[in-house]
């Protein structure tokens, strides 16, 4: 480990969550359509449905774009119908995985502890978990943003803290207010920055400043080429987790450009 305490600036990450969208033809057109925009100034990754991992891996070979799955099991193997393990993702060359997306929490009743267990097994398997957190509109209106984020994040930080110091800590956090997902209503840059700063302060309090300063925190929720620049300009916003706009190579390219600054 380096002796210096100087922090490197965090490289922006633009991650595309395709959700349950795609086909062999549209995946290929999408990837070939944004690859020209990729360079080493911005990290780019895509999260496709499981069946397309082989195709996406092939299209992205040596292209400097990471790819991953949208979920992973906390179990290693066995009688868990429908689940996919970390070791299986490893076999497909997956380096990042989404964990705890609000759609998983909402439609599949994933608790914050279950999400934390997934994050731990991913990290243990050398795959970077992108852990999604975010409040509903009702929770925001009730003044519960900080409490909700803490309740989602703390189990992850507590369980993953064992990886700090042994070089395996590789968490990415995505703040995705539920009310901004797929609605066209984005959090204002100030609203997003406020929550990102709170998340970083929590990392700082629980794991120290080196971890807090090096951990990337993405914003997600109706990010488009037209609003990405002002969101990404905020000091604690290290890129975006993109849904709808990640399905258009033009829009995804525009967001990568915005992240380049």
Cα 220 to Cα 183: distance, rounded to the nearest angstrom:
12
Task: Look up tokens 């967001």; give the residue.
Answer: 255
Cα 202 to Cα 56: distance, rounded to the nearest angstrom:
35
Stretch that binds ligand 13P, among 29-37, 78-86, 154-162, 243-251 (CB under 6 A): 243-251
**According to the binding rule CB under 6 A, does residue 182 interact with ligand 13P?**
yes
Separation of first and last alpha carbons in the chain? 30
Q: Which of residues 90-129 bind ligand 13P (CB under 6 A)?
A: 101
Q: How far is CA 187 from CA 137, 181, 202, 253, in A?
A: 11, 10, 21, 21
Cα 220 to Cα 209: distance, rounded to the nearest angstrom:
24
- Nearest distance from residue 162's CB to ligand 13P, in Å? 27
CB-neighbour burial class of residue 61 (10 A; exposed 0-12, middle 13-18, buried 19+): exposed
* Closer to ligand 13P by Cβ: residue 169 or 175: 175
**According to the binding rule CB under 6 A, does residue 241 interact with ligand 13P?**
yes
* Closer to ligand 13P by Cβ: residue 21 or 213: 21
**According to the binding rule CB under 6 A, does residue 254 interact with ligand 13P?**
no
* Binding characters for ligand 13P, 30-59, by CB under 6 A (x = yes): ------------------------------
* Closer to ligand 13P by Cβ: residue 99 or 242: 242
**According to the binding rule CB under 6 A, does residue 227 interact with ligand 13P?**
no
Q: Which of 82, 61, 60, 63 is nearest to 71 (CA)?
A: 82
**According to the binding rule CB under 6 A, does residue 244 interact with ligand 13P?**
yes
């Amino acid at each position: 480990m380096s002796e210096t305490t100087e922090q490197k600036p965090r490289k922006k990450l633009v991650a595309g969550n395709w959700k349950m969208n795609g086909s062999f033809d549209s995946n290929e057109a999408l990837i070939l359509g944004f690859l020209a925009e990729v360079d080493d100034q911005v990290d780019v990754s895509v999260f496709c449905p499981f069946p397309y991992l082989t195709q996406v891996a092939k299209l992205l070979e040596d292209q400097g774009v990471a790819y991953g799955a949208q979920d992973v099991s906390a179990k290693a193997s066995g009688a868990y119908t429908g689940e996919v393990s970390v070791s299986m993702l490893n076999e497909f060359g997956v380096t990042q995985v989404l964990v705890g997306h609000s759609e998983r929490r909402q439609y599949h009743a994933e608790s914050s502890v279950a999400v934390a267990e997934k994050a731990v097994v991913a990290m243990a398997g050398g795959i970077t978990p992108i852990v999604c957190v975010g409040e509903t509109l009702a929770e925001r209106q009730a003044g519960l943003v900080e409490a909700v984020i803490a309740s989602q994040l703390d189990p992850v930080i507590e369980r993953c803290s064992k990886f700090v110091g042994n070089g395996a800590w590789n968490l990415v956090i995505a703040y995705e207010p539920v009310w901004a997902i797929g609605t066209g209503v984005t959090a204002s840059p100030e609203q997003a920055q406020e929550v990102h700063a709170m998340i970083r302060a929590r990392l700082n309090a629980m794991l120290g400043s080196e971890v807090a300063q090096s951990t990337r925190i993405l914003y997600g929720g109706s990010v488009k080429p037209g609003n990405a620049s002002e969101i990404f300009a905020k000091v604690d916003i290290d890129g975006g987790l993109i849904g709808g706009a990640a399905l258009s190579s033009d829009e995804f390219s525009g967001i990568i450009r915005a992240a380049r600054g």
